[in-house]
Amino acid sequence: MNENLLCPIFEHCGLCTFLPLSSDEEKDRKLGVLQKLFPRFRISWIDSPHRLGYRQRISLRCDSKGSLGYYKPKSHDLIDISHCSIADTSINTILNQLPKSPTPFQSIEFRTNGERVIAQVYSKRRAPASRKKIIPWLKPFVTGIALDQKTIFGDTSLAFSIGNVQHRFQPKTFFQVNMAINQILVNHIIAYVTTIQPTHILDLYSGAGNIGLALVKRGFNVTLMESAGSSCTDARATCKRNQIKANIIESPAEKYIAGSLFFDLLILDPPRAGCGPKLKDFVLTKPKNIIYVSCHPYNLKKDASLLQKEGYHLQEITAFNMFPGTPHLETLCLFQHN
């Protein structure tokens, strides 16, 4: 099926460049990149349960006329939209009905768990948006509104179940855009960890506990380290809500001091830039196993090469199609110390 026929802005947007491809063509393109980087490995592929309507977070810009949309590639020319083919149905319902903004602002993020939609508005620099105009504009369409990360109407938290852990994420807290395949990824990690039975796990770049707390739920001893305060606050609240215990350290992973913690399994889920030189400190104590989740194949290759120099053997590579219709990909690698 030619998916771009379902997207009214495909030819101008430039975000979903793989939409014209069939599912098989997209798979071949994405696996081809990984295969060139890791030519000796058989790479497994897990597709997204949904090719369209999977994004549970989208961010739109606002122009001087109050129109919402995406910027054209390499420009600040706005494409006014009332539908995004990869956005969740509940978000598109709002986009189709929402009038133009009565007040200027920088951007707006719509976030949903499939049941509720909340909006987070960001003001322009040195020009705070008017909450008196924002609230009546959005109130008929969403159940919560945040302005510059502060709640100004309703409930701005969203509930999710991940790995049988009941989470509630505040507006500042990051969560994966494609929760359906995220659950598959977490289940894959749970199965692997259950097989190797580590004594203690260090989950760096842990976020709000997407992976780590699912393992705590299954009785594993986990230390989570995360720099974002909102994510740590949500993770602690999640532990209390689910009656589980985890050691949660609010600190950038880059400040980890080698040897300060004992762990025999290391979980890494870094930002796009990867771990970089600090990776040597992470593995200085030679944990037996490493789980590495990456959204950037080329930076993954750099870190994998460093791990191999440190005596780690790459056991498994699995590609998760977290972002269908786009060139982006989530990759899971399993390493074991020789």
One of 2.40.50.1070, 3.90.1150.110, 3.90.226.10, 3.40.50.620 is the CATH number of 57-159, namely 2.40.50.1070
Q: What is the bridge-based pairing of β-strands 107-112 and 265-268?
A: unpaired
- Reference 337, options 300, 294, 288; nearest CA is 288
Task: Report the pLDDT value the prediction gives residue 141, as an integer from 0 to 100.
Answer: 98
Phi, psi of 236 (to 5 degrees): -65, -40
The residue annotated as part of the active site, out of 16, 62, 295, 333, is 295
Q: What is the CATH number of domain 27-49+178-337?
A: 3.40.50.150
Domain boundaries, the chain: 27-49+178-337, 57-159
The sign of the torsion formed by the CA atoms of 211, 167, 90, 111 equals negative
16 tagged catalytic? no
What is the H or E stretch that residue 229 is in?
helix 229-242
pTM summary value:
0.94
DSSP classification of residue 278? G
What is the H or E stretch that residue 109 is in?
strand 107-112
CA distances from 46 to 20, 245, 253, 300, 329 (A): 20, 31, 29, 18, 11
For each of the chain's 338 residues, which pLDDT tens digit applies? Answer: 444 456 878 777 878 889 999 999 999 999 999 999 999 899 999 999 999 999 999 999 999 999 999 998 888 889 999 999 999 999 999 999 999 999 999 999 999 999 999 999 999 998 999 999 999 999 999 999 999 999 999 999 999 999 999 999 999 999 999 999 999 999 999 999 999 999 999 999 999 999 999 999 999 999 999 999 999 999 999 999 999 999 999 999 999 999 899 999 999 999 999 999 999 999 999 999 999 999 999 999 999 999 999 999 999 999 999 999 999 999 999 999 98
C-alpha–C-alpha distance, residues 154 and 144, integer Å? 4
Q: What is the bridge-based pairing of β-strands 158-162 and 165-169?
A: antiparallel
